[in-house]
């Protein structure tokens, strides 16, 4: 099957495609403005049909008080008819390569419900202990599920609570 992954800067995304991606995000995850704005999209098409999407964010977080540059992954979704065929895995692998080589970050960081964590664990993402907080509408909230990181360089994740320094993704 003809599979194609495109990595697009969000600001250069064709407005019709950007609208489709935003609506798809909102169907899966609720209002988009409650989440950090994507800097890039990875989009997977199968036979020219949009099958999967994810967002990449170029962000800094604070870990135990130290600033760490991360590649954030958010809004990972595969259309129901294309699930369990490696679509999310292929996009995540491409995104990891991009974050390492093009963004030059040492870690990927994402939030997910525990039931979905195997998708990421299979690709080397690991859960980190401790709290993860973010700000939304002027208040600080603690993410109630899993925080996972992907080591992209030979460096250990620092210890301590994570502050996402703004909206979550
Ligand atoms: C989660 C989701 C993105 C997975 O997409 P996918 O393209 O089917 O994933 P893959 O085919 O690459 O799956 C790889 C492996 O991850 C695991 N996996 C896939 N979907 C899973 C799920 N929903 N729960 C737990 N593990 C899952 C399986 O081990 C799978 O391998 P297998 O199919 O050989 O068993 C898709 O189910 C989806 O869009 N769900 C709704 C949105 C969502 O919850 N996104 C995650 C936000 S954190």
State the chain's mean pLDDT as an integer: 97
Structural domain total, the chain: 1
Residue 168 inside a domain? The answer is no
Pick the atom of ligand 1 nearest to 118's CA. Answer: 26
Give percent of the chain with pLDDT exceeding 70: 100
**Which secondary-structure segment (H or E) carries 75?**
strand 66-78
Q: Examine the pLDDT at 69 and tell me if it is beyond 90.
A: yes
| Arithmetic mean of pLDDT, 49-66 | 98
Q: Is 77 in the pocket of ligand 1 (CB under 6 A)?
A: yes
Residue 52 inside a domain? The answer is yes
Written as six digits, the tokens of 29 are: 């995850």
> What's the domain range around 113?
3-163
| Arithmetic mean of pLDDT, 95-99 | 98
Residue 169 inside a domain? The answer is no
Cα atoms in the 13 Å half-sphere on the side-chain side of 92: 24
CA dist., res. 20 & res. 38, Å (int): 14
With 0-12 / 13-18 / 19 or more C-beta atoms within 10 angstroms meaning exposed / middle / buried, residue 5 is: middle
The tokens 């974050």 sit on which residue?
99
The pLDDT-based confidence of 137 (bands split at 50, 70, 90) is very high
Q: Examine the pLDDT at 1 and tell me if it is beyond 90.
A: no
CA distances from 71 to 30, 40, 151, 158 (A): 22, 10, 11, 16
| Arithmetic mean of pLDDT, 143-153 | 98
Q: By three-state DSSP, how is residue 148 classified?
A: strand
In this predicted model, which residue has the larger pLDDT, 48 or 111? 111
Q: Which residue, among 148, 82, 72, has the nearest Cα to 117 in the 3D structure?
A: 148
Pick the atom of ligand 1 nearest to 113's CA. Answer: 48
| Arithmetic mean of pLDDT, 87-97 | 98
| Arithmetic mean of pLDDT, 61-89 | 98
CA dist., res. 51 & res. 167, Å (int): 27
The CATH code of the domain that includes 50 is 3.40.630.30
Q: Examine the pLDDT at 151 and tell me if it is beyond 90.
A: yes
| Arithmetic mean of pLDDT, 94-123 | 98
Q: Examine the pLDDT at 77 and tell me if it is beyond 90.
A: yes
Whole-number pLDDT of residue 132: 98
Full-model pTM: 0.97
With 0-12 / 13-18 / 19 or more C-beta atoms within 10 angstroms meaning exposed / middle / buried, residue 137 is: exposed
The tokens 């604070």 sit on which residue?
62
Measure 76 CA to ligand 1 centroid, in angstroms.
9
Residue 48 inside a domain? The answer is yes
């Amino acid at each position: 099957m003809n599979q194609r992954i495109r990595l697009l800067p969000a600001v250069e995304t064709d407005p019709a495609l950007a609208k489709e991606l935003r609506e798809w995000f909102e169907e899966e995850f609720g209002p988009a403005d409650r989440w950090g704005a994507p800097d890039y999209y990875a989009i997977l098409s199968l036979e020219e049909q949009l099958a999967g999407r994810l967002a990449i964010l170029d962000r800094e977080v604070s870990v135990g008080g130290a600033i760490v540059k991360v590649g954030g992954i958010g809004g990972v979704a595969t259309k129901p008819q294309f699930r369990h065929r490696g679509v999310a895995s292929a996009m995540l692998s491409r995104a990891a390569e991009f974050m390492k080589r093009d963004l030059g970050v040492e870690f990927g960081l994402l939030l997910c419900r525990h039931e979905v964590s195997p998708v990421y664990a299979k690709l080397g993402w690991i859960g980190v202990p401790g709290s993860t907080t973010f700000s939304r509408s002027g208040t600080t909230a603690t993410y109630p599920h899993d925080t996972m990181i992907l080591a992209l360089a030979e460096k250990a994740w620092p210890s301590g609570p994570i502050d996402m320094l703004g909206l979550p993704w």
